[in-house]
Structure formats: C-alpha cells, structure tokens
C-alpha cells in the first residue's frame, strides 16, 4: 500500500527537462503515469499555461508537455520552421523519449504540426486530439490573462519564429472550417487511433 501511495505522489510532481533532438533543444515537462500523452503546447504560449490540464491528465496518463523549438524556454531558431519540419522533429522526439504510440494532443497553433505528424507517421501514434485549432475564443475571459502574458513573452523571446507560428494558427483556422463543415466534431482514423477536432 505504501509503495502505491509513494508512486502516486511522485507521479504528481512536475519535472522540467531539456532534450536535444534532431539538432534542436526543447524544454518539456513530464509527470504522471499510464499511457503516454504528448501535449504540444501552442508555440504562441508557454507550457506553464497548461499546468492545470497537465495535472488533471497526469492522473490517467504519463503526460509530456513540450515547448517546441522556437518557443517558450526552448532553443531559438535562426529561421522559422514549417509545420512539416516541426512534425518531423516531434516524431524524432517521440522516438527519442521513447513514447510508445502516444496520443498527441495539440492546442491552437500546434494543430497543423499534429496533423502533419498524423500524416507522416500514423502508425506511430495512438491518436491525435486537436483542441481549439484556431487558437481563438469568442469572448475575452479574464482567467486567460496569464496566457496573454506568456503570448507576449514568447513574441519577445522568439521574434524570428513568432510570426510564422501566428501564420500557422491562421492556417489551422482553414482546417477547422473544413472539419466543422462536415459536422460538430470529426473523427479521422489515424493508425490505431483517431483525430478529433473540437
């Protein structure tokens, strides 16, 4: 019984780590235990914006929340990457850590990266979940102010890549429009899992 409680307490502890994959260094946090869930933080925000979700998900999953290169506390990039380049980097991260068939969860501007990842490596993923792929909400919520601050910090820290991330966020709105034209939520088969857009 004591071992179970100790393991559970350790699973709640959030640990930031650095990893260098495919020539680029990124910062990620890891916690929890269970099947792997890779959370791609929006490149327009910081991973700490996701702490409540990470803590909640860590009750059922081993959560890895990554700040992609060119954002947050990760390495600055000399020039912007395409969504395909980010997807290739993320695939190498999945293999490096290793995460066996993770559910890849993408928020806002990281949605194009997750869809590219599903396209190039469907058999290596347990599924893909897209959350607010446009990266916008219809009304201002004062609880979102810490996210606004992280948005501004990211723009200052990563000026060379920030505008590209913003363009990707806009491009993902086109994807959402296509998905929503087919219904409220669309499930697309990917390997053994599905892509869900909300």
pLDDT, tens only, 112-149? 899 889 889 988 998 888 877 654 343 333 344 344 45
Q: How confident is the model at residue 48 (pLDDT cuts 50, 70, 90)?
A: confident
Cβ atoms of residues 29 and 40 within 8 Å: no
**Backbone φ, ψ for residue 19 (5° rounding):** -140, 140
DSSP 16: E
Structure tokens at 130: 């897209």
Domains with residue ranges and CATH for the chain: 2-197 (3.40.50.1820)
Helix, strand, coil share (%) of the chain residues, nearest 5: 45, 25, 30
Q: Which tokens in the block code for residue 171? A: 């491009």
Give Cα 81 distance to the centre of its chain: 16
DSSP letter, residue 185: S
Q: Confirm whether pTM is higher than 0.95.
A: no
């Amino acid at each position: 019984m004591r071992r179970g409680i100790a393991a559970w307490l350790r699973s709640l502890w959030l640990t930031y780590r650095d990893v260098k994959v495919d020539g680029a260094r990124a910062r990620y946090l890891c916690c929890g235990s269970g099947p792997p869930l890779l959370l791609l933080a929006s490149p327009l925000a910081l991973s700490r914006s996701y702490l409540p979700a990470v803590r909640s998900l860590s009750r059922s999953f081993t959560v890895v929340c990554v700040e992609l290169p060119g954002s947050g506390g990760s390495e600055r990039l000399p020039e912007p990457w395409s969504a395909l380049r980010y997807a290739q980097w993320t695939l190498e991260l999945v293999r490096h850590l290793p995460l066996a068939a993770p559910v890849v969860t993408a928020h806002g501007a990281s949605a194009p990266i997750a869809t590219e990842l599903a396209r190039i490596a469907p058999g290596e993923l347990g599924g893909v979940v897209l959350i607010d792929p446009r990266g916008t909400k219809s009304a201002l919520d004062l609880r979102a102010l810490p996210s606004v601050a992280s948005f501004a910090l990211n723009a200052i820290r990563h000026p060379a890549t920030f505008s590209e991330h913003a363009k990707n966020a806009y491009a993902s709105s086109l994807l959402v429009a296509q998905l929503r034209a087919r219904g409220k939520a669309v499930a697309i088969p990917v390997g053994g899992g599905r892509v869900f857009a909300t």
